[in-house]
Amino acid sequence: MNPIYLVILIVILGIWSYNLHKKYPNKENNEKKALIENIDSIIFAGITALIIITFIVRTFYIPSSSMVPTLQINDFIIVNKFVYNFYNPARHDIVVFHPPAEAHAEGKDFIKRIVAVAGDTVEIKSGVLFINDVAQNEEYILEPIMYDMERITVPKDSYFVMGDNRNNSDDSHVWGFLPRKNLVGKAVLIIFPFNRCRTF
């Protein structure tokens, strides 16, 4: 929801609640009192939910196998949109983002794992990911990487992201670096299916 629409809605609901209290200033009987209190509770809960959904979290549906085995097709997750206002994204964070133009996926959001941050070097050889010339022990990936990539350096305000299903993922090894401005937020929780509920 556009924040402007949220502000307008809050103002409208506030005026409506104020008019109810003005119409029944003394809360003349228990029935009217209960009605007004219930309406106030609904308005408060609705505004709180809208603020949370608009500014703090969002849900995200997993449409592909690029993050298997960590995330399965049809998983629903919670994404914290607010967290990166307080600290920088780090290696191993699972993030939702608007893919850069080079990914040719306009209108879609992607979910991948940050494997390298600005200033890091990235190289893939013999099925192993090297960050700053150190081989990474990636127990969470589906299988060893079946391609090589020459050593590159991640530029300022950018990230190198990869799917955990390394051999079936449209990620930075295909289309390049992810600009920080494209980040939507950090994946924090699987909420459905219920038997897969867990935090990251």
Residue pLDDT, tens place only, 64-119: 999 999 999 999 999 999 899 889 999 999 999 999 999 988 889 999 999 999 99
4 pLDDT above the threshold of 50: no
Query: Are 40 and 13 a contacting pair, CB within 8 Å?
Result: no
Long-range pairs of 174-179 with CB within 8 A, sequence gap ≥ 24: 174/103, 175/99, 175/100, 175/102, 175/103, 175/104, 176/100, 176/102, 177/100, 178/97, 178/99, 178/100, 178/112, 179/100
Residue 64 annotated among the catalytic residues of the structure: no
Residues 82, 34 within the same domain: no
Residues 115, 50 within the same domain: no
Residues 83, 155 within the same domain: yes
* Cα 94 to Cα 40, 53, 70, 161, distances in angstroms: 38, 19, 10, 9
Candidates 23, 27, 66, 156; catalytic one:
66
Residues 50, 71 within the same domain: no
pLDDT of residue 36: 57
Residue 22 annotated among the catalytic residues of the structure: no
Residues 42, 92 within the same domain: no
Q: How many domains does the chain have?
A: 2
Nearest to 159 by CA among 86, 57, 91: 91
Alpha helices in the chain (DSSP H): 3-23, 30-51, 172-175
Residues 123, 25 within the same domain: no
The distance from CA 102 to its chain's CA centroid, rounded to whole angstroms, is: 21
Q: If you average pLDDT over residues 29-45, what whole number do you get? A: 62
Residues 95, 45 within the same domain: no
Which structural domain, as residue segments, surrounds residue 83? 62-199
Candidates 81, 112, 158, 172; catalytic one:
112
